[in-house]
Structure 1
Amino acid sequence: MKVLKKTLLLAAIGGSLFATTASAEQVNLTWQMWTGSDADTKGWQHLADMVTAKYPDIKVTLTTTGWVDYWTRLPVLAASGQLADIVSMQSLRMPNFYSLLEPLNDRIAADKFDVGAFTPSIIGGMSVDKQLYGLPYDVGPWVIYYNQDALEAAGVPLPKPGWTLAEFTDAAKKLTKDGKYGFGITPQNYSVLASAWGDKYVNDSGELDLTNPSAIAAADRVIGFAAKDKIAPLVPSSADAGTVIQGRFNSGNVAMYVDGPWSIIGMKDKAKFKIGLTTLPRDDAKDLAAVTAGSGFGIATTSKNKDAAWKAIQVLTSPEALQYLAEQGRALPARTASQSSWYKVAAKDITNGGEALDYSLAHSVPYVITNNWAAVENLFNQYFPPAFGGSADAKQTMESIQSLAQQ
C-alpha cells in the first residue's frame, strides 16, 4: 500500500510538472495585416481567435494598418527586424517581398496539405519559381462592370461570358453618345487586357519586354479605345486614373469599366443603376486568359515560432475561416468550394455576377509581373494618357516605358 501511495504521489507531482511545462510552452504569435474599416478589423480578429480555438497554446496578436501605409512600412519593419511572425502578402507584391517569407513547399509535402483545394492561378500568384511563399485567402479575376440600365436603353444585349473584342467594341460604340462613353480605360488596364488577349509583355526569363510585336499590338488596341475609336474618355497622368474612371462609372458617365470583385460591396451603395458583370473581352481568335490577383499569409523568415505560425496560417485559410469571410462579403475565397457562399452575399444583386466570375476563374492565369512592377505601373500612368490623347503612338509609348524601366 505504501508503494502504491508513493507511486500515486510521484504521478501527481509529475502531472503537476507537466502542466507547468505545458503552460510555459504557450506561444504568442504576431500577425500584421492591412484593414480599411473597423468591420474589417473585427473580421480579422475573429480569424485570429479561430487559431486559439483550435490550438489553445497559440495566441495570435493582430496589428493592422491602412493599405497604403502597410506597404510603406513593410520594408522598414523588415530592415529593422520587426516583422510579425505572420506576414500578410498580396500576390502582385510577392515578387518584391518573397525573400522576407519562409518557403512552404517542404511543409506542404510533409503535412500533405492540399493546395489543390485552391484556385490554381492564385497558388501561382503566391509562388516564385514554383516555390509557394504564402497560403491564399482570396482571389479575384479582373472583369467588366457594366451599367445594365444604359445597355438596355441603348438596345445593347447584355454581354455573355466569353464575349469577343469585336462584340465589346461594337457595344461600346453604341453606348458612346450624348457626352457619355461606352468604356473607361486606365493605364494600368494595359497588362490586364494584354493578358486576356494572350499578348506577352514579360518574356520567358521574367524580364519586361514591352517592345515585342505582341506587346505593341496590345498597346495599340488599348490606346485606340480613346485615340481612335473615341469610346473612352481621357484620364489624368496620375495614379488616380482608376479612381476617376470608377467615379465616372458610378455617376453614369461611363457605361463599362475594368475592376475586380473586391469593389462590388462598395459599388452597390454608390451606383444608382443596375450593375452587371461579364468577362474581359477575349481576342476574337483565342480563348480568354483572365488574370487574377489575391492575398494570403506567409511566415516571416525572422520568426522564432515558425512551426506555430505554420499551424496558424492553415487555420487562417481553412474552409471554416474562408466560409466566414465569404458570409461577411469580405473576400471571394481562394478555396473553390467556398466561393458560392460569397456569391450569395456580395454578388446576389449583381446581374450575371456568379456566371462572369466562374467563367473567369475557369479561364484564369497568374498575373505575370516583374520585380519592379510598381515602377512599371508608374510609367504606365505617366506615358499612356498622352497616347490616349493622340500625342504618341503605341510603339513610341512602349519604347519610352521600356527604356525608363530598365534604368
Structure 2
Amino acid sequence: MKVLKKALSLAAVGGSLFATTASAEQINLTWQMWTGSEADTKGWQHLADMVTAKYPDIKVTLTTTGWVDYWTRLPVLAASGQLADIVSMQSLRMPNFYSLLEPLNERIEAEKFDIGAFTPSIIGGMSVDGQLYGLPYDVGPWVVYYNQDALEAAGIPLPKPGWTLAEFTDAAKKLTKDGKYGFGITPQNYSVLAAAWGDKYVNDAGELDLTNPSAIAAADRVISFPAKDKIAPLVPSSADVGTFIQGRFNSGNVAMYVDGPWSIIGMKDKAKFKIGLTTLPRENDKDLAAVTAGSGFGIATTSKNKDAAWKAIQVLTSPEALQYLAEQGRALPARSASQSSWYKVAAKDITNGGEALDYSLAHSVPYVITNNWAAVENLFNQYFPPAFGGTADAKQTMESIQSLAQQ
C-alpha cells in the first residue's frame, strides 16, 4: 500500500544544521458521484473540499453524472480500468458491484473505527457476506406519504406510527371517491410491503423465492389494492412508474403512496396541500419490519491510493460532513446522532415526519435483495400491472417472474 512520504532535506552550512520545511507528497484522488442539480453538485464539492481541509496533501477531484447515467457508466468504467479511487454506491446495488470495492473490515478493526455510530440497517445494506464495502452517508426507511387535507376532509384521523393493514385499507377505501384514489401502488412496492408484513420473497440462501406461500400471499394483498378493493389506480408497465404515482400524489389524485425521505425536498414545492408521513402498515398481528436503503462511499480495488482514499471516505461520512448534508436537506444522515438536524430542515413542515421516521428506523431491517435485483424489478414492472388490471392472479404473476428471473 502506498503511504504518505515526507521528504526532509538537511544541509550543514557553516557548522550549523538547517532543515527545510517538511512537505508531504501531493496525492490526487478521483471521486465518482451522481447528482440531480447544480446545488447538489456544489454540496458534494463542499465535501471534497472538506477532505483537503483536513488533509492538505490530499486533493479530491469530483466527477458527477445523472442518476441513470451513473449506473449505466459504472460497469463500463470498471471494464476499461477507469474507476475513480472513491466509488459512490447505493445499498440496493451493492450485491451487483461489491466486487469492484475494497473490503473495509480490516481497516475498521485496525483503527477501531466506530461503526456503531451508524444506523445498523444501513451498515447491513452496505455489507455482503459479513464484509463492509462502503461507509454510508444516508439512510432512509420507506414510509407512507399522505395528503393531510384529504384525510381531514374525509374525517379520517391522521394515522399514527405502527398502524395496521386493516386501518390502512379502511382509510384508503374512504379516500377513494370522485375519480380519486386512496392509495397509489407501484410494482416495486411489492418487496417493501412484503418485508413490512413479515413475508419472505428471498430464501435463507439468498435466492429469489417468489413462489412460496408467504411471497404469494403478499403479492395477493398488493394486487388486491387496485384489482379487488379498487383503492389504487392502474399503472403503466414502465420503469418510471414511481414518477407516475408521485405525480398523481402531488396533483392530489391519490391520497397516499409509498416513498422514502429522500423525496421530501423535491416535493414541497409541487404539492399544494399539507403533507404528512406515517409508517408502512404492518400486518395486523405482527410488528413492523421497515426496510431501509441508503448510499455511501467505497474504495475501488484498482485504486493506487487506498490509504488516502480510506482517509477521504472517513471525512466524507464524518459527523461534520453529514451535519452539512442534513442542514442542506440533502440526506437523512446515516449517523444516528446527526439525524435531528435533517428533521429540523427537510421535515420541518411535514406532519409527524420525525415520529414516522424514528419509529421506522427503530423497527428497521436491511432491504433483502438478490444479486440480480435490477432484473427482478424490471420483471415486477412488466408483470404486476396486468395483474393490477385483473388479467392474472398472484400465483400466476409470481410464477412468471420467478421463472424468467432464473434464466
Query: Could you state the TM-score of these two structures normalised by the residue count of structure 2?
Result: 0.96
Aligned residue pairs total 407
| C-alpha spacing 1:133/1:2, structure 2 compared with 1 (3 Å) | closer
Could you tell which deviates more after superposition, 8-17 or 120-129? Answer: 8-17
Q: Kindly state the Cα deviation for residue 25 of structure 1 after the two structures are TM-superposed.
A: 1.5
| C-alpha spacing 1:204/1:265, structure 2 compared with 1 (3 Å) | same
Aligned partner of 1:116 in structure 2 is 116
Query: Could you give the per-residue CA deviations for residues 17-38 of structure 1, whole angstroms, max 9, x where no partner exists?
Result: 9988954611110100000111
**d(CA) in 1 for partners of 2:294, 2:46:** 20
| C-alpha spacing 1:176/1:5, structure 2 compared with 1 (3 Å) | closer
Q: Kindly state the Cα deviation for residue 15 of structure 1 after the two structures are TM-superposed.
A: 15
Whether 2:361 is the aligned partner of 1:361: answer yes
| C-alpha spacing 1:19/1:288, structure 2 compared with 1 (3 Å) | farther
| C-alpha spacing 1:199/1:14, structure 2 compared with 1 (3 Å) | farther
* SS state at 1:277 partner: strand
**d(CA) in 2 for partners of 1:12, 1:321:** 45
Q: Residue 8 of structure 2 contacts residue 22 of structure 2 at CA under 8 Å; is this kept in 1?
A: no
| C-alpha spacing 1:16/1:224, structure 2 compared with 1 (3 Å) | farther
**d(CA) in 2 for partners of 1:3, 1:40:** 32
| C-alpha spacing 1:178/1:118, structure 2 compared with 1 (3 Å) | same
Could you tell which deviates more after superposition, 240-249 or 16-25? Answer: 16-25
Aligned partner of 1:245 in structure 2 is 245
**d(CA) in 2 for partners of 1:388, 1:4:** 59
**d(CA) in 1 for partners of 2:272, 2:81:** 48
* SS state at 1:4 partner: coil
Q: Kindly state the Cα deviation for residue 51 of structure 1 after the two structures are TM-superposed.
A: 0.5
Aligned partner of 1:10 in structure 2 is 10
Query: Could you give the per-residue CA deviations for residues 171-213 of structure 1, whole angstroms, max 9, x where no partner exists?
Result: 0000011111000000000000000001000000000000000
* SS state at 2:167 partner: helix
**d(CA) in 2 for partners of 1:253, 1:2:** 58
Higher helix share: 1
| C-alpha spacing 1:9/1:384, structure 2 compared with 1 (3 Å) | closer
* SS state at 1:210 partner: coil
Q: Kindly state the Cα deviation for residue 243 of structure 1 after the two structures are TM-superposed.
A: 1.0
| C-alpha spacing 1:43/1:3, structure 2 compared with 1 (3 Å) | closer
| C-alpha spacing 1:174/1:309, structure 2 compared with 1 (3 Å) | same
Query: Could you give the per-residue CA deviations for residues 257-310 of structure 1, whole angstroms, max 9, x where no partner exists?
Result: 000000000111000000000000001011000000100000000000000000
Q: Residue 5 of structure 2 contacts residue 25 of structure 2 at CA under 8 Å; is this kept in 1?
A: no
Whether 2:214 is the aligned partner of 1:214: answer yes
| C-alpha spacing 1:104/1:272, structure 2 compared with 1 (3 Å) | same
Q: Kindly state the Cα deviation for residue 240 of structure 1 after the two structures are TM-superposed.
A: 1.8
**d(CA) in 2 for partners of 1:83, 1:178:** 53
* SS state at 1:140 partner: strand
| C-alpha spacing 1:171/1:61, structure 2 compared with 1 (3 Å) | same
Q: Kindly state the Cα deviation for residue 2 of structure 1 after the two structures are TM-superposed.
A: 41
| C-alpha spacing 1:188/1:56, structure 2 compared with 1 (3 Å) | same
**d(CA) in 1 for partners of 2:83, 2:248:** 39
Identity, % of aligned positions: 94
Runs of 5+ consecutive residues of structure 1 not aligned to the other structure? none
| C-alpha spacing 1:8/1:121, structure 2 compared with 1 (3 Å) | closer
Q: Residue 11 of structure 2 contacts residue 19 of structure 2 at CA under 8 Å; is this kept in 1?
A: no
**d(CA) in 1 for partners of 2:290, 2:41:** 30
| C-alpha spacing 1:177/1:24, structure 2 compared with 1 (3 Å) | same
Q: Kindly state the Cα deviation for residue 14 of structure 1 after the two structures are TM-superposed.
A: 14
Q: Kindly state the Cα deviation for residue 241 of structure 1 after the two structures are TM-superposed.
A: 1.3
Query: Could you give the per-residue CA deviations for residues 215-265 of structure 1, whole angstroms, max 9, x where no partner exists?
Result: 000000000001111100000011121111111101111000000000000
Q: Residue 95 of structure 2 contacts residue 371 of structure 2 at CA under 8 Å; is this kept in 1?
A: yes
**d(CA) in 2 for partners of 1:135, 1:294:** 10
Q: Kindly state the Cα deviation for residue 170 of structure 1 after the two structures are TM-superposed.
A: 0.4
Q: Kindly state the Cα deviation for residue 9 of structure 1 after the two structures are TM-superposed.
A: 11
Query: Could you state the TM-score of these two structures normalised by the residue count of structure 1?
Result: 0.96
Q: Residue 11 of structure 2 contacts residue 18 of structure 2 at CA under 8 Å; is this kept in 1?
A: no
**d(CA) in 2 for partners of 1:9, 1:346:** 53
* SS state at 1:11 partner: strand
**d(CA) in 1 for partners of 2:295, 2:402:** 28
**d(CA) in 1 for partners of 2:267, 2:179:** 23
* SS state at 2:304 partner: coil
Q: Kindly state the Cα deviation for residue 165 of structure 1 after the two structures are TM-superposed.
A: 0.3
Could you tell which deviates more after superposition, 3-12 or 179-188? Answer: 3-12
| C-alpha spacing 1:300/1:15, structure 2 compared with 1 (3 Å) | farther
Could you tell which deviates more after superposition, 101-110 or 19-28? Answer: 19-28
Could you tell which deviates more after superposition, 384-393 or 14-23? Answer: 14-23
What is the 5 A alignment of 1:30-41? 30-41=30-41
| C-alpha spacing 1:251/1:19, structure 2 compared with 1 (3 Å) | farther
Aligned partner of 2:193 in structure 1 is 193
Could you tell which deviates more after superposition, 13-22 or 94-103? Answer: 13-22
Runs of 5+ consecutive residues of structure 2 not aligned to the other structure? none
| C-alpha spacing 1:301/1:271, structure 2 compared with 1 (3 Å) | same
Poorly superposed stretches of 4+, deviation over 6 Å: 1-9, 12-21
**d(CA) in 1 for partners of 2:149, 2:190:** 27
Q: Kindly state the Cα deviation for residue 13 of structure 1 after the two structures are TM-superposed.
A: 8.0
**d(CA) in 1 for partners of 2:324, 2:220:** 43
| C-alpha spacing 1:175/1:299, structure 2 compared with 1 (3 Å) | same
Aligned partner of 1:97 in structure 2 is 97
| C-alpha spacing 1:6/1:360, structure 2 compared with 1 (3 Å) | closer
Q: Kindly state the Cα deviation for residue 5 of structure 1 after the two structures are TM-superposed.
A: 29
**d(CA) in 2 for partners of 1:131, 1:387:** 39
**d(CA) in 1 for partners of 2:65, 2:123:** 25
| C-alpha spacing 1:25/1:176, structure 2 compared with 1 (3 Å) | same
**d(CA) in 2 for partners of 1:113, 1:329:** 26
Q: Residue 134 of structure 2 contacts residue 299 of structure 2 at CA under 8 Å; is this kept in 1?
A: yes
**d(CA) in 1 for partners of 2:130, 2:183:** 37
